[in-house]
Amino acid sequence: MVSRTSLSFAIAEQLRTCSFLIAILSSIFMAPQDRSTTKAARIDELISRYQQCGYFNGSILVGEHGKVIYEKGVGYANIQTHTPNTPQTKFGIASVSKQFTAALVLMQVASGNLRLDATVSEILPWYRKDTGSHITVEQLLRHTSGLPPDYDAPEFGDGEAAARHAEPKAFAQSVCQRALVSDPGTRWSYSNCGYILLGLILEQITARSFDEILQSQLLRPLEMNDSGMDKNNLVHLGGAVGYRRRAGPRYVPGPYIDRSHIFAAGSMYSSVEDLYRWNQALTHSNLFSEELSKKIFTPELGDWSYGWFVRRIAAGQPGEGSIMAEMRGDMPGNFFAWILRYPEQDDVIIVLRNGYGSTENLERNLQAILFDREPRLPRRSPFDIAAQLGCVSLNWVAAHRFLAVLILVLLAFWSAWAIKRRMLPQDPGTRKP
């Protein structure tokens, strides 16, 4: 007679065997799991972690092999009105604008309306001749004009000089005619002024405003309907408000920056979906010839091409050895934009933030996932935790004032009693030997 224990053991063995056979059959007959879906799930998990830690307020889009695998808005475009960020939300893209300016210049060159070896003085008669007669259009595009570096200049920061209104030509006349710091064509030095001059050159040779050229040549043909020039009216256009991140996290409105004088160097706005259309056009559209597309991504000094830094990913990094083209846009205290292209894989990462002050390696973690590596998940900052606890305590005190005062009074009496007791002389008989 078979015991109850033996029978249970036999049944369990049969169930394990059946489960094993089902697993084998499933692996044979079921379709393989979609890798892009797996990556999308991993990206969503990563974004959720950043959101929980309070490290991301903005929109994101990731494309793999020419197709969008993930897009999402996180947080608020406008905290006051509780308007959420979406893939269509308009953000200031700051210096990402330069790649549009460069493309427009190259299109004019391709059509024969402009020469790359033309000098600034040839086209802009008001520009100082002693330097302008030596600086070429090509050198302005390549950041090799010899103009002084101005990335940290007050006019492009977040202070009083950046808030002061000036029309592009007037600004260029007062700020962008400084003495050269190197011979043109010999050194690379990032120059916002160089791209402001390029915008003025485009206006001069076409007799049209930069905004009109941008719309007619690029934005309308590519159906980039959520992109354009920010004329200090982005919020009125339904765009995002720029915020500065504080510990907690808390978000406070960013400083006012006048967009007019930044002009062709960094005054555009766009959305992640529109920038994806732009990314696709650079590779797959008839808008650019194959020769022109290749030229746009050919780097020289400083790894700079025409609006992009182009280099191979360093050893030890996800995707090492692969070509990467990237550009960041930094509008201090308001917006931060980052676009990364991987042309050999036809992949792209686009991240637009209106919560300025924390990147926490998000873009590099997204790159890790694209190249099948493990990202480094962020952790909450001790400053954020301390600030949040302090905020909770203050809110509790504000909501329970009487009880808070009573607790403070009791603590004060207890402290005074403890101090008084400690100061009293001890009974010699109670002292320890």
Instruction: Show pLDDT as tens, one digit a residue, over the chain (433 residues).
Output: 434 444 343 444 444 444 433 333 333 333 334 445 599 999 999 999 999 999 999 999 999 999 999 999 999 999 999 999 999 999 999 999 999 999 999 999 999 999 999 999 999 999 999 999 999 999 999 999 999 999 899 999 999 999 999 999 999 999 999 999 999 999 999 999 999 999 999 999 999 999 999 999 999 999 999 999 999 999 999 999 999 999 888 899 999 999 999 999 999 999 999 999 999 999 888 888 888 888 999 999 999 999 999 999 999 999 999 999 999 999 999 999 999 999 999 999 999 999 998 778 999 999 999 999 999 988 887 777 776 565 444 454 456 566 656 766 676 676 666 666 656 555 444 433 3
Q: Sign (positive/negative) of CA torsion 282, 283, 285, 286?
A: positive
In CATH terms, the superfamily for domain 40-380 is DD-peptidase/beta-lactamase superfamily (3.40.710.10)
d(CA 246, CA 356) in angstroms, rounded, equals 9
Give the model's pLDDT for residue 70: 98
Domain boundaries, the chain: 40-380, 381-414
The residue with tokens 């766009």 is 270
Give the model's pLDDT for residue 358: 76
Give the model's pLDDT for residue 49: 94
d(CA 355, CA 50) in angstroms, rounded, equals 12
Give the model's pLDDT for residue 425: 54
Give the model's pLDDT for residue 175: 97
